[in-house]
Amino acid sequence: MMNQTFSIIKPDATKRNITGSINKVIEESGLRIIAQKRIKLSTKQAESFYSVHKERPFFRDLVQYMCSEPVVVQVLSGENCVEKYRSIMGATNPENADKGTIRKLFALNVQENSVHGSDSEKNAKIEISFFFQNEEIVG
The entry of Mg ion, ligand ADP, none that residue 113 binds, CB within 5 to 8 Å by partner kind: ligand ADP
Task: Please give the single-letter amino acid code of residue 37.
Answer: K
Count of chain residues binding Mg ion (CB under 5 A): 1
Count of chain residues binding ligand ADP (CB under 6 A): 9
Angle ∠(57,61,66) on CA atoms, nearest 5: 130
Does residue 64 touch ligand ADP according to CB under 6 A?
no
CB of 52 to Mg ion, least distance (A): 8
Closest CA to 26 of 106, 109, 121, 110: 106
Does 116 qualify as catalytic in the annotation? yes
Closest CA to 65 of 88, 40, 101: 40
- Closer Cβ to ligand ADP, 78 or 117, answer by number: 117
Residues assigned a catalytic role: 116
